[in-house]
């Protein structure tokens, strides 16, 4: 049972914090990434930001997603719908600089859990506004 202080915040003891750190450390030390975890030729940079995905059809359909990393060659994303392999447009909102639209080839899309999907795409071209 959780213990709360007068303001309703959860109280955690030093012992609880140590147990959590120890459990997470054991998890990380035993983790073996899948063989296809690193598919890019370029080094990735963390890049957690909302993006819009425009998928071609009769009319472009717009979806929301999150980028989780980026490289000069491509992007990794997290979203709640499967993406078809093929070309889409990824629109990245740049604070104080408008948007950057990139024609992108989705090269893989995998289900993670009940509703989450991860995908990777290779940049093909910047789309000039």
Domains of the chain and any CATH numbers: 45-127 (2.40.10.220)
Alpha-carbon 122 to chain mean position: 15
Q: What band does 30 get if pLDDT is binned at 50, 70 and 90?
A: confident
Contact status, residue 65 vs residue 47, Cβ threshold 8 Å: no
**Section 14-18 average pLDDT:** 68
Gap between the terminal Cα atoms of the chain: 56
- Dist. CA 85–CA 94, nearest whole Å: 26
pLDDT at 40 over 60: no
Buried b (16+ CB within 10 A) or exposed e, 2-37: eeeeeeeeeeeeeeeeeeeeeeeeeeeeeeeeeeee
pTM: 0.70
Lowest-pLDDT range, 9-13, 26-30, 79-83, 117-121?
9-13
Name the 3-class secondary structure at 26.
helix
What pLDDT, in 10s, does the model give residues 82-120?
998 999 999 998 878 788 999 999 999 999 888 999 999
Distance CA 23, CA 71 (A): 32
Does the pLDDT of residue 56 top 80, yes or no? no
């Amino acid at each position: 049972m959780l213990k709360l202080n007068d303001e309703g915040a959860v109280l955690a003891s030093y012992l609880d914090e140590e147990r959590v750190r120890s459990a997470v450390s054991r998890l990380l030390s035993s983790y073996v990434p899948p063989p296809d975890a690193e598919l890019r030729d370029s080094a990735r940079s963390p890049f957690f930001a909302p993006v819009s995905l425009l998928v071609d059809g009769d009319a472009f359909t717009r979806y929301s997603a999150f980028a989780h990393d980026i490289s000069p060659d491509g992007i990794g994303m997290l979203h709640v719908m499967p993406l078809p392999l093929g070309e889409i447009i990824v629109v990245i909102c740049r604070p104080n600089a408008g948007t950057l639209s990139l024609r992108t080839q989705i090269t893989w899309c995998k289900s993670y859990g009940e509703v989450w999907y991860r995908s990777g795409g290779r940049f093909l071209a910047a789309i000039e506004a």
